[in-house]
Amino acid sequence: MFYITSIFQIVTDLNYIIFDRLKTFGIFKEENDLLNNFKGKSLLSLNDFSKEEIAYLVDFSIQLKEEKKSNIQKDRLKNKSIALIFEKTSTRTRCAASVACFDEGGHSEFLGKDDIQMGKKESIRDTARVLGGMFSAILFRGFEQETVDLLAKYSGIPVINGLTDREHPTQILADFMTIKEVFGRLEKLKITYLGDGRNNVANTLLLACAKMGIDIAISCPKSLFPENKLIEDAKILAKQNNSSIIITEDPFLAVRDADVIYTDVWVSMGEEDKPEIQERIKSLMPYSVTKKIMDSTGKPDTIFLHCLPATHKDEVHYMEVTEEVFESKQSYVFLQAENRLHTIKSVLISLIGGVK
């Protein structure tokens, strides 16, 4: 068994060496040109990336996952240091970024809201310039989109949006990776999002699906529909990529023929004490993902996704998704969570790393 494993490892390593040499001699010129597009760029919004670039990041993530399973380490982030600025607490984003750096020979430095002076004694612009002189990249997770935009503008190094109130691009990359692993493709699938249509996941899904040729439906009360400008921008992208957009108050219309049912918490971090929260929860109750909702797609292989954490009480999930659905065979939430690691790693290597 030892000899078989050793031979397999040697063959796998040779394949990667040959692939790298072929790229060096320009055999894969188109891919090299695409790689060059990433270097030094920031990931503030998926809307800033082309369809081909997003597809590349997803496919590269799948390759990186296979490498990790095969214990292949390439140290493509060697001598690179990444600042992790977190205004909000995190499980998946923090762990994914830290492990991604470690796996590829890099270093991550966690900077919580009480660890640095940004936004208090020091301006965002000044903090950006200080960190830009010390780090190779910044991953920011916080509240305002303006903050991550300023970090990118003044730091002089690539900045990654790990979450803002407006967008969540690294999450949607992991979602697309999960969907491609399950279905083998992205185009001509249908994703239905049930819940607050104005939140960062819904915003990013709407534009990214339209760009990638994925049909997208969002269902929620009319008061929680996405912004009109966002819908109009998405419709333009959808027309260019032969996909469709449905925004409706009817959850059963929205889930018809869906390949993926997606939801998120109804109360985002920092909103817990807002006076209108109880009214929002009440209005969203018809959009809870139940077994009846899952059965209403008309497809036995529909999967369920949730970016996590999911609302729970006494270890039982409720509110935006029932325990029955969350723990069902249709639920791929933990594969989705694992894929945060591989997609953040893909982004880091593409923006600041060494050879693929």
Residue 124 contacts residue 145 (beta carbons within 8 Å): no
Closest CA relative to residue 160, chosen from 307, 342, 351, 341: 351
> Among residues 166, 198, 264, 342, which one is catalytic?
264
Task: Out of 149, 166, 171, 198, pick the active-site residue.
Answer: 171
Q: Are 140 and 148 in contact (CB under 8 A)?
A: yes
Task: Decide if 307 is catalytic.
Answer: yes
Beta bridge partners of 137: 82
In the annotation, is 264 catalytic?
A: yes
Q: Where are the alpha helices (DSSP H) in the chain?
A: 2-24, 29-38, 51-69, 92-103, 124-132, 145-155, 169-183, 200-212, 228-240, 251-255, 277-284, 291-295, 323-326, 333-352
Catalytic residue from among 76, 141, 306, 342: 141
Spatial separation of the C-alpha atoms in residues 19 and 23, rounded to whole Å: 6
Q: Catalytic one among 166, 196, 307, 317?
A: 307
Asked about 171 being catalytic, the answer comes back as: yes
Q: Which of 94, 166, 317, 340 is catalytic?
A: 340
Write down the residue that tokens 């996405």 correspond to: 226
Residues ≥6 apart with Cβ < 8 Å to 116:
85, 122, 127
**94 is a catalytic site residue:** no
Active-site entry in 92, 168, 198, 317 = 168
Q: Any idea which residues carry the catalytic annotation? A: 141, 168, 171, 264, 307, 340
